C-alpha cells in the first residue's frame, strides 16, 4: 500500500492514540479506570490527554519520514521538544494533573521510528525494523532534547520525584550543566535508568516493551481474543517481573517488590480466566487503592501503553 507522507504520519498518530485509549480503558488494578478515579485525576482526563497527544505523534512521524528521505538528520529531529510540546498541550486540555508523561516519553521515539520504517502492503510495520529505528532515534538525542524534557517534567509535575545525586531535575543548575557539558537526553536517561523503568527502556532499547509485554499481549489476544483480558494480563506479567519504579520512588523498593509478588500470584491463579483468579485480582486492586494511591503501578501502565502501540502498528485491529 502506497501512502503519501502526510497519510502515513496520520496513520501512525491514530495507531498511538488508539494504543493509549486501549490502555486506559482496561480495568487495570490500582489505576484510574472508567468507574474509579483518584482524588483529582479521572478517566476523562486520560481521554482528553490521548486526543491532545495525537497531533504531536503525527509531527514526530513526519520528522521520521523526513529523516528517512534525507531531508533532515537524526540529530535534528528534536524528540525532546516534541515531548515538551505534547506534554504542554495535554496540560492545557485537562485539569487532572500528570496523566501521560511517562507514556509520551516512551511513545514519541516510537512515532519517529515508525515514520522512518517502511510500511508493508497492508499498512502495518515490521516490529523488528521499528525497534532498530527506535534505537537509532534515542541514541541520536542532544543536550537540547534533554533540556526540553526537563521542561516537560516541570510542566507535568509528576509525583515521586525524589532528589537524586546527579543532574537532579529539581535543581535549576542541572540545565546549565547539561548544556555546558553537552550531555544528551540519552545520557541523562542512562543516569536515570538506575531508578526509573521508563529511562531504562530508552537506554536498553525497550526490552520490557518489546520482549515481554508485546509478545505476551499478542499471545493472550490469539488465545482469548478479549482485549481487556490481554491488557490486564500483560500488565500483571510486566508488574510481576519488574517492580514498579513509580511505587519504589514513593515508598521504597520493598513495597514495590511486594506488589510484584502479589501480581504474580494473581496470574498464577489464572487472572481473569478463572473465578479464583478474578477474586484474587479484585483483592489486589483493593489493596493497591487502599493507601492513598501510593501503590499505583503507573510506570507499568506506561510500558503496557508502549506495547499496545506495537500491537496496533503491527496490524492488530479489534
Structure confidence by residue, pLDDT tens digits, 260-295: 999 999 999 999 999 999 999 999 999 998 877 789
> Domains in the chain and their CATH numbers?
5-313 (1.10.4200.10)
In this predicted structure, what is the pLDDT of residue 290? Answer: 83
Which segments of the chain have a pLDDT < 50? 1
In this predicted structure, what is the pLDDT of residue 35? Answer: 76
Cα atoms in the 13 Å half-sphere on the side-chain side of 135: 11
H helical segments located in the chain: 5-25, 43-68, 79-93, 101-116, 127-139, 143-156, 173-181, 185-192, 197-203, 207-208, 214-224, 227-241, 245-251, 253-268, 275-289, 298-313
Cα separation, 150 vs 156, whole angstroms: 10
Cα separation, 191 vs 206, whole angstroms: 16
Q: Write the CA distances from 177 to 20, 163, 174, 203, integer angstroms.
A: 34, 16, 5, 21
171 touches 161 (CB < 8 A): no
In this predicted structure, what is the pLDDT of residue 236? Answer: 98
Q: What is the pTM of this model?
A: 0.95
In this predicted structure, what is the pLDDT of residue 160? Answer: 64
Grid cell in block for residue 297: 503501578
- Give pLDDT tens digits for 180-219: 999 999 999 999 999 999 999 999 999 999 999 999 999 9
Cα separation, 207 vs 193, whole angstroms: 13
Q: Taking the chain, what is the end-to-end CA distance rounded to the nearest angstrom? A: 21
In this predicted structure, what is the pLDDT of residue 167? Answer: 82
201 touches 106 (CB < 8 A): yes
Q: How many CB atoms lie within 10 A of CB 166?
A: 11
Amino acid at each position: 500500500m502506497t501512502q503519501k507522507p502526510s497519510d502515513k504520519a496520520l496513520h501512525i498518530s491514530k495507531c498511538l492514540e488508539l494504543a493509549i485509549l486501549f490502555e486506559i480503558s482496561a480495568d487495570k488494578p490500582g489505576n484510574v479506570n472508567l468507574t474509579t478515579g483518584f482524588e483529582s485525576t479521572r478517566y476523562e482526563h486520560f481521554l482528553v490527554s490521548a486526543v491532545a497527544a495525537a497531533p504531536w505523534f503525527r509531527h514526530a512521524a513526519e520528522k521520521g519520514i523526513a529523516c528517512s528521505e534525507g531531508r533532515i538528520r537524526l540529530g535534528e529531529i528534536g524528540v525532546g521538544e516534541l515531548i515538551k510540546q505534547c506534554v504542554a498541550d495535554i496540560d492545557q486540555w485537562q485539569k487532572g494533573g500528570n496523566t501521560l508523561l511517562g507514556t509520551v516519553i516512551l511513545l514519541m521515539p516510537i512515532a519517529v521510528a515508525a515514520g522512518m520504517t517502511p510500511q508493508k502492503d497492508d499498512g502495518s510495520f515490521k516490529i523488528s525494523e521499528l525497534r532498530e529505528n527506535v534505537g537509532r532515534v534515542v541514541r541520536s538525542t542532544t543536550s537540547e532534547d534533554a533540556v526540553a524534557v526537563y521542561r516537560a517534567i516541570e510542566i507535568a509535575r509528576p509525583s515521586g520525584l525524589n532528589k537524586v545525586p546527579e543532574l537532579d531535575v529539581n535543581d535549576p543548575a542541572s540545565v546549565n550543566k547539561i548544556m555546558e557539558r553537552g550531555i544528551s537526553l540519552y545520557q541523562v536517561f542512562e543516569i536515570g535508568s538506575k531508578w526509573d523503568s521508563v529511562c531504562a527502556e530508552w537506554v536498553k532499547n525497550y526490552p520490557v516493551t518489546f520482549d515481554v509485554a508485546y509478545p505476551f499481549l499478542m499471545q493472550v489476544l490469539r488465545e482469548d481474543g478479549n482485549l481487556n483480558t490481554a491488557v490486564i494480563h500483560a500488565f500483571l506479567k510486566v508488574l510481576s517481573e519488574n517492580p514498579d519504579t513509580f511505587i519504589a520512588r514513593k515508598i521504597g523498593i520493598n513495597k514495590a517488590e511486594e506488589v510484584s509478588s502479589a501480581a504474580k500470584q494473581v496470574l498464577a491463579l489464572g487472572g481473569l480466566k478463572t473465578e479464583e483468579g478474578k477474586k484474587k485480582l479484585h483483592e489486589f486492586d483493593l489493596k493497591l487503592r487502599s493507601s492513598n494511591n501510593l501503590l499505583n503501578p503507573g510506570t507499568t501502565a506506561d510500558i503496557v501503553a508502549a506495547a499496545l502501540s506495537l500491537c496496533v502498528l503491527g496490524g492488530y485491529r479489534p
